[in-house]
Structure 1
Amino acid sequence: MVDKKEVVQGWPLETGDYSVGDETSPVAVVSLGSNMNEDLVNAGAAVAGPLHTENLGIEKVVANIISNSNIRYVLICGSEVQGHITGKTVEALYENGIDAEKKSIIGSPGAIPFVENLPVEAVERFQEQVSIISMINNENLDELSAKIKECLDNDPGAYNEEAMIVELNESEEEEESTVSEEMDVSVSTGSVDTVSLNLLDIENRIRLMQDEIKQIASQEKISSGYYAGKIEGIVIGFILTIILVLIVFSGM
């Protein structure tokens, strides 16, 4: 009979879309884009669930595993998540660890493989505590169940150190994400409103300009007629004056 350690109350500590079986089992199953939770825990896994993101999702996986010293194998199976490449990213984390400054998973093919909430010590504990069994893109329940049974038969016993607890500040991150989304919506809505208002203002200005142009044209027509008539009157008066003068002089 292999040695087991007492499991911390409320394990798994991080929330997620998973099912929990025998908490003292040495196997945790990550099913990537596939959901086979119940079948896998019924086959003997301590916990089983999908993994869709190569950042917060992986943080949760690591936190839940190192907080249970009885887990010694991580079986990666199911359909790989395109874009995020979570299966290969878990493998990269296990093989290469993380950049201590950037908090990026070294060698990950994922789009945003950053685990900002995981200290280097947590990643090292993950690497030391478990062995990775890769069956990526395999959804055959018979084969997966057989592999879980194999792990159970080869259970090395609990890791020689107590549970390591890592707080991920998930609620704060989700709140910030929600606030950010709301801000994005507000900014977007504000942009639309501003554009609409600007268009209305431009249209009003164009109408005013058109009215002003019409008024100016009308005034110019009136002014032109006025000045033309005035000049015509002066010319006629001048001519009449000359005629009268000539008549007067001729009569003398």
Structure 2
Amino acid sequence: MSLTPTTIGFDADDTLWQNEQFYRLTEDRFAELVADHAEGSDLKGRLLDVERRNLKLYGFGIKGFMLSMVETAIEVTGGKVPTTVIEKILAAGREMLAHPIEILPHVEETLDRLAGTYRMVLITKGDLFDQERKLAGSGLAKLFQAVEIVSEKNVETYRRIFDRHGDGPDRAVMVGNSLKSDIVPALEAGGWGVYIPHDLTWVFEHVEPPVDAPRFRQVAHLGELPELMSGLA
């Protein structure tokens, strides 16, 4: 039986459009706002600790990030953070939710080129409302046969999605910028994993590249994907 890929799964954030850079900018803004009320604190480190603690409660996304910023501000100031600072933190989060979508280079032409040959599925995790907003704002929705917005990306997620929308994980390719979420579990599910590094990657997504996995591939940018796909079998 042929194992030539018939389905491609694409991550969204920092694979198709910019995402992490807005978190980094907002972290800087948060640190500026709180610094005068919490001298000597490692504000970004404290925020990261709170985010890690809250992931199981809020999941991934801007809204959980906003709540974690507010919680951190309260903790590091012993509850003395002014309401004006809280208001500015919330305003910074709202700016993130309203920011225009910035498509990454090579995305549109690459998706157009692959759309007629493969079943294409958008697989993204995070807040449902926000991910739907970004997809609508990107103008890319028409190029996908299916969209899956999930709370977590793991082996069972990929098996379920590629069974539902393709010919199983062994004939599927997952493309993304996160080794931890996009690549390693897709490989463990039996698929291919194509890693596209991004300049900024959230610290929680850092793992070592699975360079010994026979179905692991890496490209410099999405524009290299069509040629790579033609050689997979």
Q: Which entry has the higher C-alpha Rg, 1 or 2?
A: 1
The answer to whether the superposition gives a TM-score over 0.5 is no
Instruction: Using CA pairs under 8 Å that are at least 6 residues apart, name the structure with larger relative contact order, 1 or 2.
Output: 2
Q: TM-score range by the shorter chain?
A: under 0.3
Name the TM-score, length of structure 1 as normaliser: 0.25
